[in-house]
Every structure is written in C-alpha cells, then in structure tokens.
Structure 1
Amino acid sequence: MANDVLENLEGLRLQLCTQAAEAEELGSLPGNTADILRKTGLVRMLQPRLHGGLETDPWDFFDAVILAAESCSATGWVAGVLGSHPWQMALMPESVQHDVWAADPDTWIASPFSPFGKARRVEGGYLLSGRWAFSSGTDHCEWAWLGATVVDAEGNRVGADGTLHMLLPRSDYTIIDGSWNAVGLRGSGSKDVTVTGAFVPIERVIAEQKVVSGVAAREAGRSENLFRMPWSAIFPNAITASIIGMCRGALAASFDYQRDRVDEAGRLVREDKFLLAQLSECCSEVESARAQMMANVHRMWDIVDSGKEVPFEIRAAARCDQVRGSRRAVEALDRLYSHSGGNALRSDRPMQRFWRDAHAGLNHAINVYSGPYQAYALTRMGAVVPPNLRHDI
C-alpha cells in the first residue's frame, strides 16, 4: 500500500510541480491539487484501516511527504500536517472516528493545536471561543483540531488540565479569508479560524499531555505499533520531512539550472571545482538529515515492537535530531543558494520558492530549538528535566 502511494506521487510529480505557482498565487492549494493529493492516498497513510486508512509504517509516510514536497512545497507541507492528524484521531473513541470518516474516508482534519482558545466547562462538554492562526490546508478540511485552555466564567484560567485538543466540525468554525499573507508557504493556505461559543462534547476532547505521554493510546486500547509510537515521533517528523523535501526540490532545481549556467566571465560553472564540491556537500547534508530522522524512527519502532515504552532519553535525543535535521537541511540550502548567482532570484525559477518555503517551515513552533536542545543536554547529564521542557517530547 505504501508503495502504491509513492508510485502515485512519482506519476504526478510533473503535475504537482506545474501547479506550485498557482497554489502560491491563490494563497491555498487549488482544488485540483487537493483532489490529486486525495487520490494518492498520502493523507490516509496513518489512518486506521477500520476507517478506510492505509495504516502504513511511519517511515513510509515520511518518505511520501518528502516526495510530495520535492514537487510542490505547499502540497508536501499540507500533506505532512494533515496526514499526521489521523494518527491522533486513532486515539479518540470509535464513535468520534465514525462521525468523521463514515461518510467519506478521505475527509481531512485541520488544526492548529496551539492553545489560543478558551474553553468553559459545561454539562456534557465545553463552550469554546477563540481565534487560531496557521490552519494549514484548512480550505479543504471538514473538521479541525483546535487547542484550548480551560477558563472560568470570567475568563480566568482554572484547573490543571493543561492544553486540551478539541475536535470541531466545519459548521462550528469560520475560516478568515485574507488572513494568510506570508513570504513563504503561501500555497499552504494556513489561514486563521475563529470559534464563538461552540459546544464541544466531552468525547471530542483529549488532553495534549495524554497524547504526548502515550497515556491516550493505552486508554484507547490501541495495540498496533503505529498508534503506540510516541507523539514526538510523528507530528514533528512530518514537519521536518516536508522541509527535507523542499530542500531536495531546491537541489534538483539547482542541478538543472547549474548544468548549462555560464558565469560573468563566460565559463561554464559546471567546470568550477569549488561549486561542484559545494553542491555535493549540500546534497549530503540534506540526505543526512533524512537518514538520522529515519534511524530514530526505526529505533523507536523496535522498542515499541518489543512491547516496551520508548524511554524519555531516547525521545529527547530524537527530538533534538529532528529539530537539528530541519535546520541542517535549510542551512545546506542557504549555502547552495549563495553559489547560485543572481538569476536564481528570478520569480520564474523554482529555486526561490523552495528557498522561501523551507525558511517558512523552519519557523514552525516545532522547530524552535531551545527546548529540545536543553532537554537532551540535561538527559545526557543525568539531570532533572523540568516539565516545561518535557511537554512536547
């Protein structure tokens, strides 16, 4: 099944490349691009089989995201973000999964999980209000995961629940057109969404820390390796996979561009030994980021497959590598770009879009390096890692 998705993406590579400029102009994936992505099956790769998903191994999903992003940054980004959401849906009650996917297994779920909402406890659930930025691919979704904290009637935070993830149907939230205007990933359509006093039943609410810690998987009775993998092995790597794909796409465009490029002295740049060395080193850096990410995923999978839980120190090391992998790939792209000449800046060159999009991806909160780096260093020292550094590991 995973091979089918990869073959589908390979066959559609040219079409996705062609539509990348249109997505950027629209500020969202064109409807045709979303349809193409649905047909590949990529977003269903981590979805439970019971609800029409493919339930593939996570490394196959990441490779598919990389391949999509190589062709079109926005498509790969949306695929990575939306494709990770079915994994979390598998931790919800069967009745909720049925509500989302019974009519159409290709129903997509947006986000974000950032706790920008305020939820007030009422009988049977919560009343939710708020505004959330960065809802990638939201135009093509029928549900959304939205992060919130619990407040009292005066709006003061109460309780010790931490961030809650709340699942809402499209009828309960509003997409703000014109709210996505960014220098990179313009085609991702990462618009703002708002909610005003929507009732969210308790069965559509899950605590973030239960998801991150693995408690949610145990409470849901999931026995499959895929759904017992740490959260930090799924969502963060989906973001990094899309960035690696963008950098791969930029490299491919660069090799195509540099092949017959002539410098200001009239010499073929492919005869420049220094440039060739730089290109090769940049390729190696990007592939190293992928290899390290995949090695960590396989390591954690083996632990889960043995019936054990992945220790915090291994999760911390993998999150450190994930963040570093994103940065390593983009740093390589920056070096590549600095040796590409003025023509690489032209808007009709795909390199400049990959470059802008990769930098936009690097600014996602999951790539903020301070927390994961500190947590990993403290684990290596055998020191206590404070709760604020553990929350997304």
Structure 2
Amino acid sequence: MSAIAASLLHKAATLVPQLAEREAATSQARRVSADTIAAYRDAGLLRVMQPRRFGGFQESFGLFARIVETLAEGCAASAWVYAVLAEHQWIIASMSLRAQEDVWADTPEAVASSSLGPRETARRATGGWRLSGRFPFSSGCHNAQWAILAARTEDAAGPTRVRYMLVPMTDIEIIDDWQVLGLRGTGSCSLRVEDAFIPDHRTVLLHDLNQGTTPGATVLPEYALLRAPRGFLVPFSLPNVLLALARRALTLVPAVQRTRLSRGVTAVAASEVMQMRLGEASAMIDAATTLMHTHRSKAVEMVEAGLPIAAIDVARARRDVSLIAQLVRQGVEMLAETAGSQHVYDVDPLQALLRDVQTIATHIVVARQPAMVPYGRLLLGLPTAESL
C-alpha cells in the first residue's frame, strides 16, 4: 500500500467515532448530513478514484472498498452514501474529457448520485438526448451536484441500448419518498426529470463500461481501472457495508448473552443451543468476510496487472457477492433469533443492524437470480445479457 493510500485509510478510521455518534440522527433525518460530507471532503476520501488531472488520487479500487468497510463500522448509511458518491467518480472518469471538465473544471470536489436501472427511454435530439421520467433509489442525492441516470436509447447506430447520462442536479427535482425499512439515512429518494437535454458528450454506453472501452479509457490510458469491465469490480462496492454490519452484530449479541438470565433464573450462556447458534452464525459471517476479501483482492490485482478478464470472471464476481450477502443475512438473522425478543424494541441497537442488513439484501447487485443465472448460462455454453 502506498503512503497516500495508508494515510487515506487511516483518516477513514479516525472518522468512525463521529459517524457512530451521528448514526441515529442520520437515520432520523433520512439523509447524510453536510457535516459528514464535509468530513469526507476534508479527509480526501471522495477523491480516491477521481483522476489526478482534476486533483484526485486515482487510487486503487481496493483502497476504496476498504474505506467503505471501515466507515460502515460507524454508520452503515453514511458508508453507503460514501460508496455511491466515491465510486461514481469512476463513471464520470469513463466519460469524455469534455464531460469530466463539465463536472470538475470549476468544482473539483463535485460528486454524483445515480439511478442506474434503465426505466425510461431518452429521445434523440440535435447534439444529444431529451430525457423525462422518474428515477428511484438515488442514494446521496441531497449531497450531490450531478446525477447519473440510466436510460434506453435508440439511434441509427443500432437497436435499443442503455446509456448512462450525466445530468446536473439543477435540472432535477428530488421527490421525498424515502420512508423505508433500513438504510434510512441514505436519502435514496426518487428523482424527477422533465424534458432535460443531455449533450452526447455527457453520456456513455453501458456496453462500453462493461467492456472497458469508454472514452475515458482513451483520455486516461494510464488509469487501469478505466479499462476494466465495470461489472467485474462494482459488485465489490456496496456489499462491503454488509461485512461491517455483521461484525457489529457479532460483537453485540454475545456481549449481551454472557450475562443474560432466562426468566431471571437460568444463565443463557450455559446453554449448548445458544453456544451452537453463536458458533454457526459466526462461521457464516467469517466465511462471507473471507470470501469477500479474497475475491475482492484477486479482482483488483487482475485489473491493476492488466490481465484479460473473461465473461466468466465477471459472472463469477457477482455470483460470489450474492452468496456473501446470503451468508451475512443468514448469520445476522440467526444472531437476532438467538438474542430473543429484546431486538423488537426500536431502541435496541440490534434491530437497526438487522433492518439495514435486510434492506441491503434487496439490492439488485446481490439478488440471487440475476447473479446465479448468468454464471449457470456460461457453464452451459449459453450467452448472457448485459447488466449493471
């Protein structure tokens, strides 16, 4: 690890206590505070993957992933928003130089939220596209200056294709609809766009992102990340929050059970059933953590070494992260079952951890069918559809 990387990781660790102190308020506010974003900026964390030519560190995806996992030790929602805003610097850097200048030339610390499910179709216009519609799940939108919106497009170049479109937040209305089970502090509201014009240079084809053949890869040939298939690394982004949540639950539950008395008489810790459940839950969480760290590191090493990345490698990454999420959810839910009825109270810290884990488990990047089917199809010699 470089001295810069070590310094950034250390700065992330120093923020954990203040994130933990703000966690309840962040959940209540249903968004990450300006103070937290300012702390990220002061520490340089949002610029980990931003190109050097715009003042960024152009650092490793592996460093970014470790920072996400570290911040989640303090506040899951704050870490989730960090993961979104910092990782989207990769997408912006994948666009044309002109698009990067639009975002960073006057505001080098600008960041973008997103809505990456292509629910709307953009209409061709002279020099660009016209886009209208509603775009949900835009985590960190209150903290962003831009949004990356996925849309289906169709032109003379071929059939309907998906493009990521960079839209300034001044052209967007935030709809306050984020009343949810978990990750309440992420502010993942829907965005409404009415006939916004997006010039061609502020778009990038999802196909090119997944092939590592974007305009940004030409602009910054020395930046290995921009030549990597997006689908190979992006599964290792947001799910890092799960690992920290699981470790927090694994610390919390045994500490309570050591002194707990069943009906005020029997020591719960003496029960072999309790001991077995804790052993099984910890095994699931440890297995998930080892799998994530091992495969995440291997993927980063392949990208940075410039090794060829095949479709089966991309499918395996998402398959593995889906399994990791399943193991974490099972482990944390077993811990909650072991803890008994206490976690039904809103003030119990385990309840918040459980809600966050269950909410993350609904995210498309860890969904079982979209993760497992492509790998199965490749094993059978069948083609797969483009995703992520």
Say whether the fold is shared (TM-score over 0.5).
yes
CA distance 1:274–1:208, shift in 2 (3 Å): same
CA–CA distance in 1 between the matches of 2:11 and 2:303?
30
CA–CA distance in 2 between the matches of 1:143 and 1:46?
17
Deviation at 1:23, TM superposition (A): 1.2
Specify the code of the residue in structure 2 equivalent to 1:36: A
**Could you say which structure has the higher strand fraction?**
2
After the TM superposition, which residues 49-88 of structure 1 pair with which residues of structure 2 at under 5 Å, given as runs? Answer: 49-88=52-91
CA–CA distance in 2 between the matches of 1:328 and 1:198?
42
User: Residues 342-390 of structure 1, C-alpha deviation per residue, up to 9 Å, x if partnerless?
Assistant: 2222222221111101111111111221132122123334x1123x3x4
CA–CA distance in 1 between the matches of 2:154 and 2:303?
37
Equivalent residue, structure 2, for 1:155: none
CA–CA distance in 1 between the matches of 2:323 and 2:123?
38
Q: Would you say 1:203 and 2:162 are equivalent positions?
A: no
Equivalent residue, structure 1, for 2:31: 28
Equivalent residue, structure 1, for 2:274: 275
Q: Is the 8 A contact 1:112 1:135 kept in 2?
A: yes
Q: Is the 8 A contact 1:81 1:235 kept in 2?
A: no
Percent identity between matched residues is: 28
After the TM superposition, which residues 287-326 of structure 1 pair with which residues of structure 2 at under 5 Å, given as runs? Answer: 287-326=286-325
Deviation at 1:159, TM superposition (A): 4.9
Deviation at 1:37, TM superposition (A): 3.0
Q: Is the 8 A contact 1:233 1:297 kept in 2?
A: no
Equivalent residue, structure 1, for 2:109: 106
Structure 2, unaligned stretches of length 5 or more? none
CA–CA distance in 2 between the matches of 1:55 and 1:255?
41
Equivalent residue, structure 2, for 1:361: 360
Equivalent residue, structure 2, for 1:37: 40
Q: Is the 8 A contact 1:110 1:145 kept in 2?
A: yes
Q: Would you say 1:342 and 2:326 are equivalent positions?
A: no
After the TM superposition, which residues 360-379 of structure 1 pair with which residues of structure 2 at under 5 Å, given as runs? Answer: 360-379=359-378
CA distance 1:106–1:287, shift in 2 (3 Å): farther
CA–CA distance in 2 between the matches of 1:24 and 1:299?
35
Q: Is the 8 A contact 2:61 2:300 kept in 1?
A: no
CA–CA distance in 1 between the matches of 2:219 and 2:123?
25
Deviation at 1:336, TM superposition (A): 0.8
CA–CA distance in 1 between the matches of 2:252 and 2:88?
31
CA–CA distance in 2 between the matches of 1:231 and 1:204?
18
CA–CA distance in 1 between the matches of 2:304 and 2:27?
42
Equivalent residue, structure 2, for 1:284: 283
Specify the code of the residue in structure 2 equivalent to 1:322: V
CA distance 1:48–1:286, shift in 2 (3 Å): farther
CA–CA distance in 2 between the matches of 1:301 and 1:53?
19
CA–CA distance in 2 between the matches of 1:4 and 1:335?
37
CA–CA distance in 2 between the matches of 1:221 and 1:108?
19
Deviation at 1:133, TM superposition (A): 0.7
Equivalent residue, structure 2, for 1:137: 140
Specify the code of the residue in structure 1 equivalent to 2:141: T
Equivalent residue, structure 1, for 2:245: 246
TM-score (norm 2): 0.91
Is the partner of 1:114 in helix, strand or coil? strand
CA–CA distance in 2 between the matches of 1:317 and 1:151?
30
User: Residues 110-149 of structure 1, C-alpha deviation per residue, up to 9 Å, x if partnerless?
Assistant: 0011112331111111111111111101001000000111
After the TM superposition, which residues 92-103 of structure 1 pair with which residues of structure 2 at under 5 Å, given as runs? Answer: 92-103=95-106
Equivalent residue, structure 2, for 1:194: 192
CA–CA distance in 2 between the matches of 1:230 and 1:270?
49
